[in-house]
Amino acid sequence: MDLSSALAFALAAHGGQTRKGSSVPYVSHLLQVSGLVLEHAGDAEQACAALLHDVVEDTPVTLAQVAEAFGAGVASIVRDCTDTHEDDAPGTKRPWLERKRRYVAQLAQVPVRSALVVGCDKLHNMRSLVGDLERVGPAVLSRFNAPPEAQRWLHGELLGALNEKVPGHLHAELRALSERYAALTAGHAG
């Protein structure tokens, strides 16, 4: 697997996107997730998929294009990381709760190879979110499409779906971050 090609593809697809509510280039998240995959003993195929994990969900790129460029293995992992339906498009996604319920049900079926990429994605997201909550406070919650109680529900569901599919230390850190998020958002209904 060629990580440089996957990175170039991701950069072209995500263009000038930034992290939610910030000026941080979106590629930062993709690089972080790919690095976490490698740090948790993932292979080059998983690291490539990590660089591309949001390309179908957040850009006009299709799963078929990912498969053509990077093979069925990478495309399969990207599919398992995607919470949108095939007929959704950026800016016209189904409602948050509908997408997340389907995604959680899907995670129960994903193979360990995909679960590692999903877990690393969630780990970086949670590190960023908890860090922002600690630095800035509850104002960061306005960035999200769902209120804190819905996010807490999702965190619990993700922990259950990823249990025993990801390395124990990764799961433990996700659990700790979920607990910290719950503590920081207690009393915030949305």
The residues facing 18 across adjacent strands are 25
Active-site annotation holds for 149: no
Most distant pair of Cα atoms in the chain: their distance: 48
CA distances (Å), origin 24, targets 7, 15, 92, 111: 17, 13, 24, 31
Would you state the structure tokens that stand for residue 91, as one six-digit string? 């800016």
Burial class (CB in 10 A: 0-12, 13-18, 19+), 167: middle
Q: Which of 43, 58, 173, 179 is catalytic?
A: 58
Q: What angle do CA 82, 84, 19 make, to 5 degrees?
A: 70
Q: Which of 57, 88, 173, 179 is catalytic?
A: 57
Phi–psi pair at 92, nearest 5 degrees: -135, 40
Active-site annotation holds for 39: no
Q: Which residues are catalytic?
A: 57-58
